[in-house]
Amino acid sequence: DARALANEMAHQASHDELTGLVNRREIGRRLARLLDQAKLRGGQHALCYIDLDRFKLVNDTCGHEAGDRYLCRFVATVQARLRQVDWMGRLGGDEFAVLLQDSTLEQAEAVMARVYAALAATAFEWGGRASDMICCPGVVEIHANAPDVDWLLRAADTACYVAKEEGRNRVRCYRESDQTLVRRRREFDWVAKVRLAIAERRLLLYAQRIEALDGQASLQYEVLVRLRESDGRVIEPGAFLPAVERYGQAMMVDRYVVDAVAALLAANPAHLERLELCHVNVSAQSVVDPSFLDHLGRLFDR
């Protein structure tokens, strides 16, 4: 009984409860093992990143039970096109990973094209409503020169994103010679760096003075943001803010900045007494988001 319980707990820790697929943690472990084997003995495999486009729509309009059935139908359709040596995992939400054992990019692209065609021909009906299954698989090759598991997942995710950008309904393979994909991966890397910098409080605030041309003495400035790398280098906003905005993550930077400015002013009442004007730039994404405006209102109230 103890052994059975231990096995059940181990299975729950490594598998997704709804679909029965391996979860993100187990996906990482398996990919790390395959990458180590490729570095030791050679060989190549293909990692496919699949983002299911219509899941959120089904979930929001038909309810969570419909969303769960939709995901399970999707998983069953994909698994029916895989070999026994291949496996599928759920990264979270509507994001999935498929591992094609001993496959080249070209072979994986052909498999994903068949998967896509099967999904496109599958209609999901619930409560009198029908929804199709559309996805844009991104594929990356696992070989001895791949840096690590995080790189593999980001590269496959980047290929998936570019497939969507190019009009969906297609499979995109990650190749280092493809400058569009390389540029997008760098942008993904910047988003990850900014998230980490916020967590480690490495976004720095600078104040640029605003001086009156008529010489009137007053304290006015604009608040600017910089990112300090873990090695101490200070990065200008032009390097990371465009990527953050492209992927809809600008609000995390805006919240950090306005919170930090408010905390600094509150902690320095003598400075605040002298301050006539303080400009803080925020993105259009934040301006139109009700949750950001509510946060700003509560911040001013405090």
The yes-or-no answer on residue 94 being catalytic is yes
Strands 138-142 and 45-51, by their bridges, are antiparallel
- Residue type, position 75, single letter: V
**Of 16, 51, 94, 254, catalytic:** 94
If pLDDT is split at 50, 70 and 90, which confidence band does 189 have?
A: confident
Question: What does the DSSP 8-state code read for residue 232?
Answer: S
Q: How far apart are the first and last CA of the chain?
A: 56
φ, ψ of residue 201 in degrees (nearest 5)? 55, 50
Burial state string for 158-183 with b = 16 or more CB within 10 A and e = fewer than 16: bbbbbbbeeeeeebbbbeeebeebee
From residue 80, give the alpha-carbon distance in Å to each of 22, 26, 55, 125, 205.
17, 21, 20, 20, 53
Q: Who's near 171: CB < 8 A, 6+ residues apart?
A: 109, 112, 113, 116, 136, 137, 138, 139, 163
Q: Who's near 118: CB < 8 A, 6+ residues apart?
A: 77, 78, 80, 81
> What pLDDT, on the 0 to 100 scale, is given for residue 143?
85
If pLDDT is split at 50, 70 and 90, which confidence band does 213 have?
A: confident
Flag whether the pTM goes above 0.75: no
- 244 within 8 A of 190, measured Cβ to Cβ: yes
Tens-digit pLDDT profile for residues 132-182: 777 778 888 888 888 888 888 888 888 887 777 766 667 778 776 666 667
> How many CA atoms lie within 13 Å of 105's alpha carbon, on the beta-carbon side?
14
Strand partners, 48: 98, 139
If pLDDT is split at 50, 70 and 90, which confidence band does 228 have?
A: very high
> What pLDDT, on the 0 to 100 scale, is given for residue 133?
76
Give me the helices (H) in the chain, please.
2-14, 24-41, 55-62, 64-79, 105-120, 149-165, 179-199, 237-246, 250-267, 269-274, 284-287, 290-301
Instruction: Give the pair of three-digit tokens for residue 144.
Output: 């001895």
Strands 129-132 and 87-92, by their bridges, are unpaired
> What pLDDT, on the 0 to 100 scale, is given for residue 260?
95
Tens-digit pLDDT profile for residues 38-95: 888 878 899 988 888 777 777 777 788 888 888 888 888 888 888 889 999 988 888 8
